[in-house]
Amino acid sequence: MPDVNHDVFVCYSSADRQQVVRIAERMRRKHLRVWLDDWELKPGDSIIKKVKSGIQHSRFMLAIVSENSMKSHWVQHELSASLFVEASRGSAEVIAAIVGHVGFDDLPQELLRKHCLDMRNPSAEADSVARVVDLVRPDLRVARELKESLRKL
């Protein structure tokens, strides 16, 4: 497995940028290293090379599934690349999260077999980000639980 530079690569449609940046910032405040194109791409960068490297050097991909992303060829390309990396590593690394007016039945075929997070409202979004953090960084969950148990003493 290549060196890991990021905990989570965020795959999304640029039409959903405002909500996605809010989700990414929440993850970053929870101490996750997040790959988001707005934060990683510099003027003159090869988009294809940077995205490929971002996918390969991230532990997980958070695929934001929306009406917009399901129509995006770019999102489909990133998702296919990530599912290939997932299969070659032999572990579940693609996390799907629905936003907007997408239902679980609307998920793309390749994501139907996965447990999907629901980020369709602010409360569900906050809970789902916490679940991503717990999955990606279990050490943070253990530390939090330890602090809580010590407070009860």
> Catalytic residue positions?
78
Closest C-alpha among 64, 78, 70 to residue 117:
64
d(CA 10, CA 135): 15
DSSP H/E element including 60: strand 58-65
Calculate the alpha carbon distances from 81 to 89, 110, 117, 129 in Å: 12, 12, 20, 23
User: What is the sign of the dihedral through the CA atoms of 1, 55, 36 and 39?
Assistant: positive
d(CA 128, CA 23): 10
* Interaxial angle between packed helices 122-136 and 17-29, expressed in degrees from 0 to 180 and rounded to the nearest 10: 50
d(CA 63, CA 61): 6
